[in-house]
Amino acid sequence: MLKHRNRLTVTGVVQGVGFRPFVYGLAARLDLKGWVCNTSSGVTVEIEGGPDAVSEFQISLTRDAPPLARIEQVTAEDLPPDGFTRFEIRESRSEAGAFQPISPDISICPDCLRELFDPNDRRYLYPFINCTNCGPRFTIIKDIPYDRPQTTMAPFEMCPDCAREYHDPLNRRFHAQPVACPVCGPQVWLVHSDADERRLTQIEAEKISVHQRLSASLYLSGGTAITEAQRLLADGKTVAVKGLGGFHLACDATNKEAVAELRRRKGRVDKPFALMMADTAAVEHYCHVSPEERALLESRERPIVLLWKRAAADPPIALSVAPHQRTLGVMLPYTPLHYLLFNSASLHPSPFIPHPLVMTSGNFSEEPIATGN
């Protein structure tokens, strides 16, 4: 049979969006051989097979691309057949002076959210669950091409279970660079503001392990840390929550003393605070929500949406959240940790009632957001 071979150069947002696994699956479905790899300027694909299959591949590449991908251009080059015997994902290639747009961070997907609260799942209540379809991207990348060694996940070696998922073409974590679990991935921890500052400085200077940090009796970890954060919020305290992109300062939005204290500490006189609410039902309890606004709230980008306040809701949002305003800026949780904070039974019974939370950037007014611990 006459074989055709094409080299396709794809540019746009095509890294960190499941594009290589998509290409792999498409080639397998069409019985094409060759390879795909990330480069510093996009994705390069070589395919070889029957002319009809090669043509169908090029059409499907753009028509059926992953929802997170944004293809700007596909350049095709005809090459003589090479005799490829399989299709593979090859090691990425760096190119000096090249440019590659990176996907923004993506809110937790429905599959990961289901696993997060499934007691039988090995990532049950794991605050950093992610897959090819969701999780950190822009926040964790240090250089291009986008591969785990070029991200802040590089120090976390995958355990055998995560490695098996990463290399399984039928798994939705196939080539998901941030893949992790409680065994091998990062852990959540909490430290009280009244901890010994000198000891904290020593810990940072020595770069000691998480386990050593916990043994220093300054930190709470895992579910204990989350439950303590819930308790602090219920007690009217401010909690700095590290999320995608930096820290948020959180407090109970129905507690006027807590909101006033947060304003004092930020030096923010009357500029409205953004709110995070547990789910759409909670938003509708406090605000009028049109179908279009609901779609925005629930979109994968999880934007802050300005909504008209309802006249009365119990417990009421503190007036100081948005002084002299008839609207509230509201967003839904977008990381696993956010969902755990709103979950009233993470690991064990919690005293926290999931009121709306102020979620404002962790900085003094007009200053950059804090990103370092």
Give tens-digit pLDDT for 248-262: 999 999 999 999 999
User: Both 240 and 290 in a single domain?
Assistant: yes
Predicted pLDDT at 1: 67
251 and 336 together in one domain: yes
pLDDT class for 224, splitting at 50, 70, 90?
A: confident
- Of 169 and 349, the structure prediction assigns the larger pLDDT to 169
Residues 6 or more apart whose CB falls under 8 angstroms from that of 295 comprise none
Q: What is the CATH number of the domain that holds 76?
A: 3.30.70.100
pTM exceeds 0.75, yes or no: yes
**Which pLDDT belongs to residue 220?**
75
Looking at the fold, whether 253 and 158 belong to one and the same domain comes out as: no
Neighbouring CB atoms inside 10 A of 288's CB total 13
- Whether residue 298 lies inside any domain: the answer is yes
CA distances from 32 to 28, 45, 51, 187 (A): 6, 11, 10, 41
CA distance 123 to 131: 12
Into how many domains does the chain fold? 3
d(CA 63, CA 229): 45
Residue 103's Cβ-count burial label (10 Å; 0-12, 13-18, 19+) is: buried
Domain identity same for 343 and 243: yes
Give the range of the structural domain holding residue 334, as residue numbers without chain letter: 227-361
269 and 355 part of one domain? yes
Query: What is the average per-residue pLDDT within 191-213?
Result: 51
Last residue of some domain: 135, 151, 185? 185
Residue where a domain stops, chosen among 135, 168, 185: 185
pLDDT in tens, 46-101: 999 999 999 999 999 999 999 889 999 999 999 999 999 999 999 988 877 777 78
Are 81 and 116 contained in the same domain? no
| Cα–Cα nearest to 105, from 149, 82, 136 | 136
